[in-house]
Amino acid sequence: MVSLQIKNLKEVPGEAQRQEIQQLAEKLRQKFEEWFKRYSKPLTFEVIVAHNGRVFRISAALDMKSKKVLHAEEDIDPVVAAHKLFEQFRRHVKRQIELERKDYEYKRKNRKKG
């Protein structure tokens, strides 16, 4: 089960941009839901929006078993930053899933020997 939390979305000007960022985050949450069907830990996918001057900083976090996966992107346009962020974040999470799986298999192999 993956839940979604979007913080400070009100800092994004324009309802259309807010909805697009929310839809992108929900789409990625659904992808994570597929990947983590049999994951033993309930996960929270956090998206945080910050606005400093002209630049929007959007960051994402997912607290997995082995570590917390974090990534952030900055851009003048919040939707462009969200697109870049979610694409890169998806790759980071996928890589972390593979590392956790390898670690699990390694530990399982050593348990059988011992």
* CATH code (residue 67): 3.30.160.100
How many independent structural domains does the chain possess? 1
Q: What is the CA radius of gyration of the chain?
A: 16
**Residue 44: per-residue pLDDT:** 96
Residue 111 above 90 pLDDT? Answer: no
**Would you state the pLDDT for residue 114?**
60
Which residues span the domain enclosing 66?
A: 2-113
Does position 113 have pLDDT exceeding 80, yes or no?
Answer: no
> b/e map of 83-104 (b: 16 or more CB within 10 Å)?
bebbeebbeebeebbeeeeeee
**Span of 36-40, 61-65, 105-109 with lowest mean pLDDT:** 105-109
User: Mean pLDDT, to the nearest integer, of 56-76?
Assistant: 96
Helix (H) or strand (E) holding 28: helix 15-35
- Whether 93 shows a pLDDT value over 80: the answer reads yes
Please give the helix or strand (H or E) that residue 39 lies within, else none.
Answer: none
